[in-house]
Structure 1
Amino acid sequence: MIKTGTPYLYFYDECDDALNYYVDILGAEILEKATFEDVAYMEDPSRKNCIAHASFKLGESVILANDFLEKKSKENSSGSSQTSIWLELEKVADIKLLEENMLATGSKSIIKLEETFWDSLYAKIEDKFGIIWELNAQK
């Protein structure tokens, strides 16, 4: 049986920026962060400060992240690796504030905040790094 599932986010040399963004906007707590230089993975010295591995905490959940090991660009990437993370928020006021903060910092709304058939407020937002966040708050 599966004990737990942990999202793993991959970035195009933007992982450190994304981590800082998640700290500022989502209140994430960085648990660990190592660069390619830290782990002695230096195929391309210009990428020594890219993130080889990181973990951060959102509420009680831990999420893993890193930059792709090989140099890639969003424009030349074959296919789209979509990642969606569901965040259950404690209060209706929390979801409204989070949606507002994310949209004010370059994220785009996929589904605007709305009431749902499952008696919640819900919004779906793609952040400026291409990660999709599903925000939900029970009424």
Structure 2
Amino acid sequence: MVKGINAYIVTNGNGQEAVKFYEEALDAQVISLQTFGDLPESPDFPIPSEAKNYVLHAHMKIGANELMLSDNFPGTPYTLGNQVGIAVIISTPEKTKTVFDSLSADGHIIMELQQTFWSPLYGQVKDKFGVTWQVSTISEAQ
């Protein structure tokens, strides 16, 4: 079952500043904030020292709504117009795969579905209309 969708903002190295801005401007409550420095270390994916404080994922609550945000990884192109996407939260891996496959039809897979430390199944896709989706399984227990 699809549990919900949230706007997802991508910033260019100033995510910490953006989170503080939305806290003040919109009375946002920060539910969680992880930095790239919080990622488990991997020799296959070293994190540059300048990126350790960049926001990997911030989750905020604004009134009855939720907003998510992350910094663009250093060295990855940042294009204005692509800085807002949609995160879709799904309750089972099977439904996550179905939704991901549907959204990727005639679109472009940015990140294949895979297990991450925050989700049993997560991926990113740009659909045929140019909308970026972050598809994630979040169980009821999470």
Aligned to 2:122: none
8 Å contact from structure 1 (residues 15, 66) kept in 2? yes
Give the superposition deviation at 1:82.
5.4
Q: Which runs of 5+ in 1 are unaligned?
A: 85-139
Matches of 2:70 and 2:82 in 1, distance apart?
14
Match of 2:14 in 1: 14
What is aligned with 1:68? Answer: 72
Give the 3-state SS of the residue equivalent to 1:31 in structure 2.
strand
Q: RMSD of the alignment, in Å? A: 2.5
Q: Aligned to 1:57, what secondary structure does the other structure show? A: strand
1:36–1:82 distance in 2 versus 1, CA, 3 Å? closer
Query: 2 CA distance for matches of 1:55 and 1:4?
Result: 14
* 1:39 and 2:39 matched: yes
Runs ≥4 residues deviating over 2 A: 1-4, 40-43, 69-74
Cα deviation for residue 2 of structure 1 reads 4.9
Q: CA deviation at 1:73?
A: 6.4
Seq. identity, %:
22
Deviation of 1:81 (Å) = 1.6
Residue 63 of structure 2 corresponds to 59
In structure 2, the residue matched to 1:48 is: 52
Matching of residue 25 in structure 1 with residue 29 in structure 2: no
- What are structure 2's unaligned runs of at least 5 residues? 86-142
1:44 partner amino acid: P
Q: How far apart in 2 are the matches of 1:37 and 1:43?
A: 7
The CA deviation at 1:70 is 3.8
C-alpha change, 1:3 and 1:40, in structure 2 (3 Å) is closer
Does 1 or 2 have the higher relative contact order (CA < 8 Å, sep 6+)? 2
1:31 offset after TM fit, Å?
0.3
2:82 pairs with 1:81: yes
Partner-residue secondary structure (3-state), 1:4: strand
Conserved? CA contact 1:33–1:51, under 8 Å: yes
Aligned residue type for 2:81: S
Q: Deviations over 1:116-139 (max 9, x none)?
A: xxxxxxxxxxxxxxxxxxxxxxxx
Shift of 1:62: 1.1
| Cα distance change of structure 1 residues 17 and 8 upon mapping to structure 2, 3 Å threshold | same
